[in-house]
């Protein structure tokens, strides 16, 4: 019976270690994504591209209204 209990603690420690590694990897990836979002938020080129896309969309919308 003591052997079973010992093997369970080893298996449990392995499972806990794997879970901690997986959680660490997930947090690391979320950290990278969050950092990328923060860096892009202060990038003026991102705003410029979005602004140009919006202008193009409004131009097309205006042309479509004039055709009606």
Q: Note the pLDDT of residue 1.
A: 46
Contact at 8 Å (CB) between 25 and 17? no
b/e per residue 23-60 (b: at least 16 CB within 10 A): eeeeeeeeeeeeeeeeeeeeeeeeeeeeeeeeeeeeee
In tens digits, the chain (68 residues) has pLDDT values of: 455 556 678 889 999 999 999 999 999 999 988 888 777 667 677 778 889 999 999 999 998 888 87
């Amino acid at each position: 019976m003591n052997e079973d209990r010992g093997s369970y603690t080893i298996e449990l420690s392995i499972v806990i270690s794997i879970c901690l590694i997986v959680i660490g990897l997930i947090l690391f990836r979320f950290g990278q994504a969050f950092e990328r979002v923060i860096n892009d938020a202060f990038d003026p080129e991102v705003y410029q591209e979005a602004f140009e896309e919006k202008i193009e969309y409004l131009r097309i919308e205006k042309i479509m209204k004039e055709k009606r």
